Structure 1
Amino acid sequence: MPRPLIGITTYVEESTHYRVWDLATALVPTGYYELVQAAGGAAVLLPPDGPGTAAEVLSRVDGLIVAGGPDMDPVHYGAARDARTGPPATVRDEWELALITAALEANMPVLGICRGMQALNVALGGSLVQHIDGHLDTPGTFSWHPVSPVPGTRYAALVPEEAEVPTYHHQAVDRLGDGLVVSAHAVDGTVEAIELPDPERWVVGLQWHPERDKDTRVMASLIAAAVAHAAVPVP
């Protein structure tokens, strides 16, 4: 059976210098697709497109990963902009929110990573803390800290023990989106994982960066869900 095809969102850097060119580039760190491949899937990169094409694009893949990146515009959750929130990424915001909405409507497996988890929460009506004061991490730098699973959640079934995870963020989930539950916390109470509790749907968000780790348990579960999704006939 062919490996399930997992779409990974990318982001655009307006000026990227490599060799003799200096061009706008759609990219994503290699760890994302390497983790998909290590867990048994095949990866395809999804550059920004018109929001109206989201369902069409997703009809070609079996699962969706919404990658990390810059802050979401607080306009999407009805908040005033904090001075410490980054500049708007309007095209990416609109594209990824459309992808998440289309994926949920299609019951497609979805994994949100860092910004992707925040986008998932916002897409379902939640809000964000625009700057974390006194969190375990130094804002804007990679570090490792422990997260604890919430018993009874999908994440806890996959990773039942406290785990050290690589993180890089200064924003976090505030008000949970509709239907979501918290499935892991940091020791300071910061929400580190969320999910939809419906056993028939695979929708998980991780605040940290599993693509910088060697633990494939969550990704392997996404791949298994994508295999099952691919086997369901399209009405």
Structure 2
Amino acid sequence: MRPLIAVIGRRAESVPILRFSATLAAEAICEAVYAADGEPVVVHGVAADPITGLEFRLRRFDGLLMPGGQDLGPERYGQDRAPQTVDVLDFQDDLDLGTAHAAIALQIPTLAICRGMQAVNVALGGTLHQHLYETTVNHRNEVHDVQVVVGSRLHAVVGAEHVSVSSYHHQAVDQLAPALMVSATAADGVVEAIEHRHADILGVQWHPEDLHLTSVTDAALFADLVERAQKRRDNG
């Protein structure tokens, strides 16, 4: 049986094919997990209380994927809200920050993408840049290069010092949480990947699901997650 990969759902107030609010996951995320021989399962955040029982619910999964999404509320890391910070959803912040804590407590293999990576950093005491102003690198809808730290876990996974990535974000890691290490950066210094010093967590700022069918290094991230999840499953 394929290892079960929990994909944390995203709350939407409405979608065209449904009459009510919805818990969503990007098809590309699920396709990328499935292509790597994992079984993606979208985890619904309980509207009334997204935190209580979350660790118990996630315990049954072999791996965890924290996807991208809207802006994380700056109140979560001690800042006032800038005008560029929009679409903050307290429910989603509660769910994602709680998921990050649960991932560490359970030692569950985790891949955190874009907002997911930012949530891990904030959950562990880090902060974010609320808005990236224009630099030599376009982070908001472009493929650009990142430099991978030699000797990092990410380097072992992708097998390269430079990779091209599909980027779509305007917030980014500022102050790094003490429990984390930087695994990759963009040419303008933006943190592009992190890993936990002890827990089985790897995070990337880019969207590997965008190019997983054509990019060997992006596909490797999902293959690595599923491989780690399979080992957890085999070890019971």
Preserved contact between residue 194 and residue 203 of structure 2 (Cα < 8 Å): yes
| 1:20-39 residue CA offsets vs partner (Å, 9 max, x unmatched) | x4321111210101111111
| 1:223 and 2:220 correspond | no
Partner of 1:97: helix, strand, or coil?
helix
Sequence identity percentage: 38
**Are the aligned partners of 2:149 and 2:161 in contact in 1 as well (CA < 8 Å)?**
no
> How far apart are residue 178 of structure 1 and its match?
2.4
| Matched residue, 2:148 | 149
Check conservation: 2:5, 2:65, Cα contact below 8 A.
yes
Q: 1:1-235, aligned counterparts within 5 Å?
A: 2-18=1-17, 21-49=18-46, 50-135=50-135, 136-137=137-138, 139=140, 142-159=141-158, 160-198=160-198, 201-214=199-212, 215-233=218-236
Give distance in 2, aligned partners of 1:84 and 1:146.
Answer: 25
SS at match of 1:70: coil
Q: In 1, are the aligned partners of 2:150 and 2:161 still within 8 Å (CA)?
A: no
Q: CA deviation at 1:217?
A: 0.7
- Letter of the 1:207 partner, please give it: Q
Q: Structure 1 residues 182, 113: CA separation in 2 closer, same or farther (over 3 Å shift)?
A: same
**Using the alignment, how far apart are the partners of 1:182 and 1:134 within structure 2?**
22
Distance 1:72 1:120 in 2: 11
User: Helix, strand or coil for the counterpart of 1:16?
Assistant: coil
Which segments of structure 1 move beyond 6 Å, counting only runs of 4 or more?
Answer: none
The RMSD of aligned alpha carbons is 1.3
**How far apart, CA to CA, are the structure 2 residues paired with 1:106 and 1:27?**
24
Q: What is the SS of the residue equivalent to 1:7?
A: strand
Q: Structure 1 134/23 Cα, relative in aligned 2: closer, same or farther at 3 Å? A: same
Q: In 1, are the aligned partners of 2:139 and 2:167 still within 8 Å (CA)?
A: no
Q: Deviations over 1:121-179 (max 9, x none)?
A: 1111100000001242264xx21100110111000112223111111000000011121
Distance 2:107 2:56 in 1: 14
TM-score normalized by the length of structure 2: 0.91
Counterpart of 1:211 in 2: which secondary structure? coil
The number of equivalent residue pairs is: 226
CA distance in 1, matches of 2:98, 2:176: 19
